[in-house]
Amino acid sequence: MAIEFAQSPRSTVGLEWEIAIVDRATGELASIGDRVLGLLDERSPGGKHPSITSELLTNTVELVSGVHETVAGAVRDLEQQLAEVRAVIDELGDYELICSGSHPYSQWYDQHLTDKPRYHKLIERTRWWGRNMMIWGVHVHVGIDDRDKALPILDGLLAYLPHLLALSASSPFWAGVDTGYASNRALMFQQLPTAGLPYALADWAAYERYVGDLVRTGIVEDHSEVRWDIRPSPRWGTVEVRVCDGVSTAAEIAAIGALVQSLVEWMSTRLDEGETLTVLQPWYVRENKWRAARYGLAAEVITDVSGTEKPVADDLRELLTTLAPVAERLGCAVELQSIRATLDAGASAQRQLEVAQAAGGDLTAVVAHLARELRGEVEGAAGTTAGTAGTGTAAAGNGGEHEASSE
């Protein structure tokens, strides 16, 4: 089957940020997303908000930026949308907003499904695994100027998948349990039949045959239901990185966006110059993903086809130096180098674990911490910025100081 790849300006960027709603008193997930979206729609010209959408579960709203030349522009777009959601949440009075890869203690059977046919079909097929998708992520789209670059760049990005996952890891808790993983979300999401790591496909025609096989056998209705960690997005003319856990500060999403944008532009330029990108063996890619999910920024990863191993944090620092000239050209140098703050202070998973330990294991303290981070009220946290949209009370939770994306 033929799949058209849209025209997209080279290395433009779009960001998606999934935000969870929690009860201010208990910190539990709150299934009021449809109510929030209804109020936002009422206040929007034409009766429909152009950018803020529903997700699989009604405890979630998704913020979707427009197409931007710079990461800073895309993040400002998201911050403005977050401020709109915040205004509604604060008016309702009993709720808070958080973002992380998972909620520390809410249970799947208490959550409500958004009433859309595609979601009902997904849950009917996937049952228990699908109902357990209490997960939130960050997606980064980067424009590709030539369709035939999309799959080579995707393959090249797989060598840096553990770096992105470790940097964003924020789901150490699941249903009240310390899982021992920095990103339990990454391993949970790949249980869906078309999610997880992409297959090695030689060219665009092979991708079209793959999607055609899935459609013909009733696995999917179209290519948008292929939910790989990194995938081509033909509708937008982009490569979309979806492996990252949700992050709770605007500065962290900016850092992740800058890293992805810089990597894609770097690889695109190398392809233009006739270079062959490094493509790791699939078994190395799979092992790297597991190590990053398990250990986060403490992981040791495989960096080349000969099996060289290196701490992912050290490799990230070297990568920041390599990408610095690219980021300068793209206008995201400051955002890219801010990754060093996360390397120094720890990613969200580490911060959550430290908060839980300080609170004697009280996970409501983790939800309160995440709410404060999203409001920009936690000084000194990696990636925290005073510019994050929103004002109001300190946080949800009675203990003091935590997608299912189907698009």
* pLDDT tens, N- to C-terminus, the chain (407 residues): 999 999 999 999 999 999 999 999 999 999 999 999 999 999 999 899 999 999 999 999 999 999 999 999 999 999 999 999 999 999 999 999 999 999 999 999 999 999 999 899 999 999 999 999 999 999 999 999 999 999 999 999 999 999 999 999 999 999 999 999 999 999 999 999 999 999 999 999 999 999 999 999 999 999 999 999 999 999 999 999 999 999 999 999 999 999 999 999 999 999 999 999 999 999 999 999 999 999 999 999 999 999 999 999 999 999 999 999 999 999 999 999 999 999 999 999 999 999 999 999 999 999 999 999 999 997 555 555 433 333 332 333 333 332 333 34
What pLDDT does residue 378 have?
74
244: closest CA among 145, 332, 351, 171? 171
Give the burial class of 126: count Cβ atoms within 10 A of its Cβ; 0-12 exposed, 13-18 middle, 19 or more buried. middle
**Would you state the pLDDT for residue 381?**
54
Residue 250 is predicted with a pLDDT of 97
Domain boundaries, the chain: 13-374
Q: Name all contacts of 180-184 with Cβ < 8 Å and 24+ positions apart.
A: 180/294, 181/293, 181/294, 182/292, 182/293, 182/294, 182/295, 182/296, 182/297, 182/298, 182/347, 182/349, 182/350, 183/101, 183/245, 183/292, 183/293, 183/296, 183/349, 184/101, 184/102, 184/293
Of the candidates 101, 112, 18, the residue with the CA atom closest to the CA atom of residue 57: 112
DSSP label at residue 118: H
Range 13-374 classified under CATH 3.30.590.20: yes
pLDDT at residue 383, as a whole number: 55
| pLDDT reported for residue 382 | 58
Do residues 116 and 225 touch, judged by C-beta distance below 8 A?
no
* pLDDT at residue 406 in the model: 38
